[in-house]
Amino acid sequence: MAWIDGMIENNQRIVPQKAEKSVDCGYQVIEDEDGRRIIHLTTHGSKHRASPPKSSQSMQFGQTVAETLVDILCEAFDLSHPSGSGVEPEVRAAYQANPHLFRELIAADVEAADVVGLARRRAQVDRFRKLLTDDVAFRAEMDALPGSGKEKVWQQFFEQNPWILGTSLATQLLTSWNDKLLEQVVAGYSIVDVGKRTDALLRTSGRIRSMAFVEFKTHTTDLLAPKPYRSGVWKPSSELTGAVAQAQVTAHRASREIQERLQSKDVDGGDIPGDWTYMFRPKSYVVVGQLGQFVVDSGGHHEQKIRSFELYRRELSTPEVVTFDELLAKAEWMVATPPSE
């Protein structure tokens, strides 16, 4: 039996089960020792067995997960939310009868579309925050990606939310080089050299665009070595210096092979006139660790560690080192509710 602690989006390839393999699912409403209601679900074996069906898989969850599940079901099947959200029954009935028409009306309403888009982004920022602060939630997403480590979780998250990188990393707006995939091979394989792959290939927006590279480590990567190098001096961790070196080599190799600019191609492989991306000392970024590593148990700041880290990254000409919590803070600001006038 499993206790369900939270609901996360699953991106595995799932094959729908055939109706002839259907089973029954029994449910019970029970209470824990504190009087809180719990839903218990149990699936039973196939109806086609010679012996009576037996209990198979069981799960339990409380009110928080139940509310999330209701939201998911309503969205997936175009159902009206049981809370009603203050909507008249006639309107809900009309929506259920013709949801596509309602969607077209919303799409044509700029303000309505903005509300829907902002709500989705806020949900992803909440997910971002949970991945940084909730080890159980992070582990659940990692387990949903078999054979992958922590970096793959972040790779997938930013693949799904490239707008966070685009609006939070640089002063310029950054957009994905490829609409379908952030991760790209930027320097090819050959018999004399290895290929170089960047976790996110971006480019600046505007009439003239330049390329940018991003490398992801993890939110738990140490920013500094575990012990001071000298009194009051802490050197960068090997993971951080390795990521910096990796980003530098990737950008260098891409510049060497692409040279000064790259011509964009259409879906048929033809040149898009005037659509160039320039490679003059391209910007690069390493997203790594959290600044919370410099907060001591009493809640105060470790000034020597902060000084060592800030001096190190500010003296780097490239790449720029950005922590995951700094990226989250910018994303939170981007979706914050503006003050009412």
What pLDDT digit, counting tens, does each position of 9-38 carry?
776 667 777 766 677 888 888 877 767 788
Domain boundary among 87, 102, 123: 87
Residues 6+ apart with CB under 8 A from 50: none
Over residues 222-236, the mean pLDDT reads 94
pLDDT of 99 reads 67
* pLDDT tens-digit map of 276-304: 666 667 788 899 999 999 998 888 999 99
* pLDDT tens-digit map of 117-162: 677 888 889 999 999 999 988 888 888 877 778 888 888 888 888 8
Q: How many CB atoms lie within 10 A of CB 284?
A: 23
Which of 49-53, 177-181, 275-279, 333-337 shows the lowest per-residue confidence on average (mean pLDDT)?
A: 177-181
Whether residue 112 is contained in a domain is answered as: no
Residues 6+ apart with CB under 8 A from 140: 6, 8
Q: Which of 256, 313, 307 is nearest to 286 (CA)?
A: 313
Please give the tally of structural domains in the chain: 2
Say if residue 187 is in the same domain as residue 65: no
Say if residue 184 is in the same domain as residue 315: yes
Say if residue 81 is in the same domain as residue 222: no
Say if residue 228 is in the same domain as residue 327: yes
Say if residue 218 is in the same domain as residue 324: yes
Question: Distance (Å, rounded) from C-alpha 20 to C-alpha 47?
Answer: 9
Say if residue 274 is in the same domain as residue 163: yes
Q: Which residues pair with 276 in a beta bridge?
A: 263
Q: How confident is the model at residue 206 (pLDDT cuts 50, 70, 90)?
A: low
The domain in which residue 63 lies consists of 1-6+26-87
Say if residue 51 is in the same domain as residue 200: no
pLDDT of 186 reads 46
Question: Distance (Å, rounded) from C-alpha 147 to C-alpha 205?
Answer: 36
Over residues 46-60, the mean pLDDT reads 67
Question: Distance (Å, rounded) from C-alpha 105 to C-alpha 111?
Answer: 11
Residues 6+ apart with CB under 8 A from 246: 215
Say if residue 198 is in the same domain as residue 324: yes
Over residues 252-280, the mean pLDDT reads 67
Q: In Å, how far are 175, 233, 308 from 57, measured between CA atoms? A: 44, 55, 53
Contact (CB, 8 A) for 161 and 124: yes
Is 0.85 topped by the overall pTM? Answer: no
